[in-house]
Amino acid sequence: MREPLQQALGDHPRAFLIEPLDYPSLVGAMQRCTLLMTDSGGIQEEAPGLGKPALVLRETTERPEAIMAGTAKLVGTDPATVVAAAATLLSDPAAYQAMATAANPFGDGHASERIVKLVRAYCQR
């Protein structure tokens, strides 16, 4: 994939072709982006927790709950469809907000607090 991407995007000032990132760096990059275009199931799971719309560049996904919740949109791989979906999110604040603020189908971000509470209660028995 690197060679065709380098040919298509290598000189673009807003496209960065980089080596794979470790997890903290990946989360930091996702926090700083506007939207995500991915084929990764893991990214589909992380996006709603960061309030980032995810366009899924696949024909199917093993994370249908993200599509149903509205945090991700299955757009396939047709370039015109991908560009149209991205353009909508970048130009329509209501469409962007709807995806960015949809309920996270993978959790509410408070699991660790509930686990600590349960462990403390268990230990006090």
**pLDDT tens, residue by residue, 86-97:** 999 999 999 999
CATH, residue 105? 3.40.50.2000
**pLDDT tens, residue by residue, 19-35:** 889 999 999 999 999 99
Number of domains the chain contains: 1
Domain range holding 80?
Answer: 2-123
64-70 LR contacts (CB < 8 Å, sep 24+): 65/105, 65/106, 66/105, 66/106, 68/105, 69/102, 69/103, 69/104, 69/105, 70/98, 70/99, 70/102
pTM: 0.82
pLDDT band at 17 (very low <50, low <70, confident <90, very high): confident
